[in-house]
Each structure stands twice: as C-alpha cells, then as structure tokens.
Structure 1
Amino acid sequence: MSVGAVVIGAGVSGLTTAVCLAEAGMEVRVDTDRPPGATTSAAAGAMWDPYLAEPRDRVERWSRETLPVLTELSGVAGTGVRLLDGTQESRVPCELPTWGPLVGARSCPPDELRDGFVAGWHYRAPLVDMPRYLQYLVDRLTEAGGRIREHHYDSLDAALPEAPVVVNCSGSGARSLAADAEVEAVRGQLVVVENPGVRRFFCDDTPGAVDLTYIYPHPDVVVLGGTSERGNWDLSPDRAEAEAIVRRCAAVEPSLAGARIVAHRVGLRPARSSVRLAGERHADTLLMHNYGHGGAGLTLSWGCAREVAERVRAAVGTNS
C-alpha cells in the first residue's frame, strides 16, 4: 500500500492494527494521548478469553484467528506470551463454553475441582504479560517503519486531515472522541503479587457471579483479579477492593495469602452492545473504527486488526 495511515490509540488493538498496516507496506503513525504502558491494555490480566464482547459469531471468528498468532508468539523470546495450563471452574452446574474446543478444553473430574466448585474445564491457552507484550508490539511496529506520537484529539474531525486512512482504536475514549454514547466503561481492578510458586491459572466462571476471581501466574509475579464495575470511570485503586480481591484468590490458592503486593492496576474495559469494526468515507479520507472489545481486546486483537488491514487494502489498492 502506498498511502499513509494514522491509528488513534496505543492499546493492544491500536498497536496490533498499526503493525498489520505497517507490515502490509503502509506508512503508519500511532497517535495517542497515553503511552502504551499507561493504557487499559497494560492493566489487563490477560489471557485469551472471549470475555464481555459481542456479537457472538464475529467474536468467535476474531478469537479463532487470534489464537494461533498468540500461540506462535509464545515460542518467541521477549513477547511476554506463554502457553499455560489451568482451569475455569463454576460453583453451579453449567455447560462448556462454546470456545472450549478451540483450546482443547475437557471437563474436570470432581477430584480436580477446587473446594466449593461443582463444574470446570481444564485447558491450555496463551497467558500474556501485557506491559511486556505491548513493548514487543511497539518494537515490531518500529521495525516495520511505523512510529508513535503523543497527541490528543478532541474529535475525529480533527484527525481526518492527518492521513488518507484514519483508524479509530480509542477504546473507552470513543465515547467522547467518536461521540458514541453506547460506549460504557467497565472498570477492572487487579492486584499484582510476588509469585509464591503458583504454576497454573485459575478463573471462577460461575454464571452471574457478582465478583470476578482469577489467578494468572507469571514467572515472578501473579496477577489477581478482579472487578467488573459497569459505568465506573474511576482509575484510582480502591484499597478495600484490593483487599477483597486478595482474600477471594487466597481462598482458592492459600499460598497467595501472604504474598507481597507488587502493584495495583486499574483499567476501563470499553463495553458496547457489539464491537464496532466498520468503515466510512469522509471526502478523501477512509475512517475505520475498531473499538468496543469489552474484556476481550487481546483475544480479538489479531482477528480485528487483520480485517481492518484487509478492508483498507480493498479500499485503497496496492502498489503491485
């Protein structure tokens, strides 16, 4: 491609989209009012898991397309991606998630379940150290000739003159930037502790549970979660909530009770009735939207980014 593109947003969706466009031959610049390490993506857990995103058919397709990419990256040093075994368990009987076969999920016999849980699935999936992964994407973008600029836009109209292609990956910021009142923040808080020896992930998948409980171990630390507070835009860590998160996780994995706290993270999941991946023409500029991924930004990232790149290619043509 010979035209240039501006991608708004430096979270996982924005950076992955920028990488796909740059590696397709475009001159790409990412404009962001927050560096990658200060985005919601940097605060995420994060595992491949189609959480809090619709519509189901498109989410399953994008998730399926992203999974092998993350699996391949787990074998590349420095990406922050690892394949890890673990379980999702429920305190009430429930069915295997529709995405279960993609990761080889199998039902857990009763003796594999944690106390208080009556159903569960064992599987192996990508677990990602998000700050490290975002830096990998930045490096990959740079190698492809892309760059990042710290810049704030008050509206998309201000961005349209910047390039023939503009991609809006502003996450929860799309509520104001794109004047999309349907975008709602779902606040997620988590606690990072030193790893006392936990080697398998755990997630409470009880339908309708008020609180989230998940344990995502990395070599040196464990990410403990979490919260899912719809309509809460507060980015300040809540001490009482942090203590409750540690208590819930320690009830599942007692070795975590005395683990030293390393960090607190808060992010705003960009919830919407459906992911907005669509294009529109504004004079000579193609504006693409790629936001509203809920809690599945990582899980949908490569599938959505590749679709954006394909739509851009079809709209602007190629050099060959």
Structure 2
Amino acid sequence: MKRVRVVVLGAGVVGFSTAVCVAEALPLCSVTVLAERFSPDTTSDGAAGIAFAAEFPDIPLERQRRWFKDSFDHLLAIAQSQHSPDAGIMLSSGWQIFKEVPAKKKPFWSDFVIGFRTMTDGELKRFPDHRFGQAFTTVKCECSSYLPWLEERFRKAGGRVEQRKVNSLQELSNSFDVIVNCSGLGSKVLVGDTSVYPVRGQVLKVEAPWLTHFIRDGDGKTYIYPGMHSVTVGGTRQEGDWRLHVDQGDTESILERCSRLEPSLKKAKVLSQWVGLRPSRRNPRVERETVELQGRTLPVVHNYGHGGWGVTIAWGTALDALGLVRQCLKEMPHQAKL
C-alpha cells in the first residue's frame, strides 16, 4: 500500500505537537516536519510557557475547554513522570492578580488546573495595588527543553525533519499528499492570511532561586514565572510591532514593574534578554481547505494563530488537526486509504 506523505510546516510548539500526534496515530503515513528554523531559534523557545488561557471571541467555549483540557492533561502527565526534567515540564503554583475585579471571577479553564480558588484578603495584602486574585497550580513548559524532546519523540515514531525555507505551497505539490500548515506568523505570506499579526514580547531570564511562586498581573503585561534553571520576568504586548531587537527601555520597565510585585527581584542577576513575535489572530485557525497546486488538488489542514497561548493549547489543537487529517485520508482515492 502506498504511504500517504504528510508535511507539517513549522517547528514550534504547535508544529511539533501536531507532527507527533499525526506520526504516532497514523503509522501508515510518512510525516515530515519542514521549517526554516528549529529550536533554539523558534518563537516558542522564548515563551514563558505557563498554562492558562484567554478566551477567543468566535470559537465555541466547549471547543476551547477541550483544547485547554487536552493540553493540560498531556503536560501534567509528563510533569508527573520520569520525563519531567528532560521535557522541561514542571508544576507551578502561584497567583494571578487584578487591579479591578474581573467580570468573570472563574475563567473557563479553572476546573482543569489544580486547586483553583479566590485569594484571601490576607494573601492580597502583599499586592496593595490589586483588589482581586486567583490562586492555583498549573504546569510550566520550558520549550528550549520541550521542543528537542518532542522532536526526538517524533523521530522515534518514524518522522523525518528537514530544514529549509518554504516560500509557497506550490513548492510542495509534487512531494506531499497532505499539507499541515503550522507556520504561525509565516501564514501571512505563505497562505496570504492578512488577519495574522505580530504581538511583540520581550522577556528577561534572571537568577532568583529563592522565588518559587509565579505572579501574573491580570492585564498580561507583568509576570514572574520561576522555572527549572532561572526565573522568566516580563513583559510586553506590543501589537503590530515587528522589532526583534532588545529594547533597553522595555528592559528597565519590566524590571521596575516586576520588582514592584516582588521587591526581592532587585537582588536578581539578569542572565539573558529575549524578544519574540507572538503569531496572533482574532481566533486561532484550526480548519481544513482544498487548494489547487500546479494542477493537483491537495488538502491543507491549518493550525496556527495561537498568539501568546501556543504552549497552553498546542496539544489540544494538534488533536483537532489530527482529526482533520484523518478526514482528508478518508476522502482520498482508494489506493491511499488507511
């Protein structure tokens, strides 16, 4: 039987999650990950990688709940296994705090994280500018470890990896039978999606081993996330900003804001600074379409536009994308059926 050739475009957390799901579930497919950049040079590599979510306006809440739960359960299982240090996934407890009481005191994902509750007045005393808070335990995923771990898992499932720039889907028409597009911000050019835009994020890694709890301001701009080897502090959310160089003004602002929440950070040594562009969209695009490429009709499954929530929902959207690939296979001519 002829193997169905599947290509996954993109080697970030969404691309490799999708590639692993397809390669492990559909062993009769030959799966190739094709990307210009791999870890440690992807946007995912610098992500703070802590799992909780924003609500997307036009996607049914049930689907968003499934994306979150599937991803959280997947990451939690790794965090509680012997793979935890290699995969860079750990449990993380802490607080999300708000200057004003939010309209929804219990977000849709609160049932899936561990021990979610409203903070007490006593706990809030240390944050005098904030009026409301949530305490919970979630998972933190360090993609600089997780991506190589996923890549190894993908190769074990028979997957192939190729590093090159793809300028157009036309280039792939003769080599593959199904295209899975996880190219993030690259989809702006690759599939002409004008609704994708960058949200610039700058973060610092600091040495502060005494910090064990995360603190996140509800506006998403100021956060402190202790990790396995350092603490990530941030950040910025600059929409439509394509600058990839470190901005000294942003660095000073980040340190000043984070030190206000956690005064001991004034004693922390800055280890590194990083900038990444979140591939944002009003809603992530997880759907399929059929395209004509050089006289050949090919199915394309899209899975991109996660913004700053890539790590949080990557596995959930990857399972959805796997379902779409299965549909594509069912509709193929008989000789390609699995």
What TM-score do the two structures reach when normalised by structure 2?
Answer: 0.89
Structure 2 portions without partners, runs of 5+? 331-335
Question: Could you say what secondary structure the match of 1:268 adopts?
Answer: strand
Q: 2:238 aligns with which of 219, 229, 246?
A: 229
Between the aligned partners of 2:58 and 2:144, the Cα distance in structure 1 is: 28
Q: Which residue of 1 aligns with 2:42?
A: 39
Asked whether the equivalents of residues 195 and 220 of structure 1 are also in contact (C-alpha less than 8 Å), the reply is: no
Give 1:284 shift.
Answer: 4.2
Q: Which residue of 2 aligns with 1:101?
A: 111
Runs of 4+ in 1 over 3 A off after TM superposition: 51-56, 317-320
Between the aligned partners of 1:313 and 1:2, the Cα distance in structure 2 is: 14
Question: Could you say what secondary structure the match of 1:309 adopts?
Answer: helix
Q: Which residue of 2 aligns with 1:161?
A: 174
Give 1:227 shift.
Answer: 0.6
Quick check: 246-255 or 92-101, which moved more?
92-101
Alignment of 1:84-123 (within 5 A): 84-94=92-102, 95-103=105-113, 104-113=115-124, 114-123=127-136
Between the aligned partners of 1:20 and 1:39, the Cα distance in structure 2 is: 20
Q: 1:81 aligns with which of 89, 96, 100?
A: 89
Give 1:16 shift.
Answer: 0.4
Q: Which residue of 1 aligns with 2:144?
A: 131
Question: Could you say what secondary structure the match of 1:49 adopts?
Answer: coil
Between the aligned partners of 1:252 and 1:16, the Cα distance in structure 2 is: 34
**Total equivalences in the alignment:** 316
Give 1:250 shift.
Answer: 1.2
Give 1:4 shift.
Answer: 1.6
Counterpart amino acid of 2:41?
Answer: A
Q: 1:65 aligns with which of 46, 65, 70?
A: 70
Between the aligned partners of 1:219 and 1:67, the Cα distance in structure 2 is: 19
Matched, 1:214 2:227: no
**CA 1:53 to 1:298, structure 2 compared with 1: closer, same or farther past 3 Å?**
farther
Q: Which residue of 1 aligns with 2:188?
A: 175
Q: Which residue of 2 aligns with 1:144?
A: 157
Asked whether the equivalents of residues 46 and 276 of structure 2 are also in contact (C-alpha less than 8 Å), the reply is: yes
Give 1:127 shift.
Answer: 0.8
**CA 1:105 to 1:275, structure 2 compared with 1: closer, same or farther past 3 Å?**
same
Matched, 1:299 2:312: yes
Between the aligned partners of 1:147 and 1:126, the Cα distance in structure 2 is: 29
Question: Could you say what secondary structure the match of 1:248 adopts?
Answer: helix
Q: Which residue of 1 aligns with 2:333?
A: none
Q: Which residue of 1 aligns with 2:248?
A: 239
What TM-score do the two structures reach when normalised by structure 1?
Answer: 0.94
Give 1:101 shift.
Answer: 2.3
Give 1:300 shift.
Answer: 1.2
Structure 1 portions without partners, runs of 5+? none
Give 1:319 shift.
Answer: 6.6
Query: C-alpha deviations, 1:273-300, integer Å up to 9, x for none?
Result: 2111111223342211111111111111
Query: C-alpha deviations, 1:7-59, integer Å up to 9, x for none?
Result: 11000000000001111212111111111211111111011121374535232
Asked whether the equivalents of residues 88 and 228 of structure 2 are also in contact (C-alpha less than 8 Å), the reply is: no
Q: Which residue of 2 aligns with 1:279?
A: 288
Q: Which residue of 2 aligns with 1:313?
A: 326
Asked whether the equivalents of residues 287 and 324 of structure 2 are also in contact (C-alpha less than 8 Å), the reply is: no
Between the aligned partners of 1:10 and 1:310, the Cα distance in structure 2 is: 20
Between the aligned partners of 2:17 and 2:57, the Cα distance in structure 1 is: 20
Give 1:143 shift.
Answer: 1.0
Quick check: 296-305 or 54-63, which moved more?
54-63
What is the RMSD computed on CA atoms of the aligned residues? 1.7
Percent identity reads 35
Counterpart amino acid of 1:72?
Answer: A
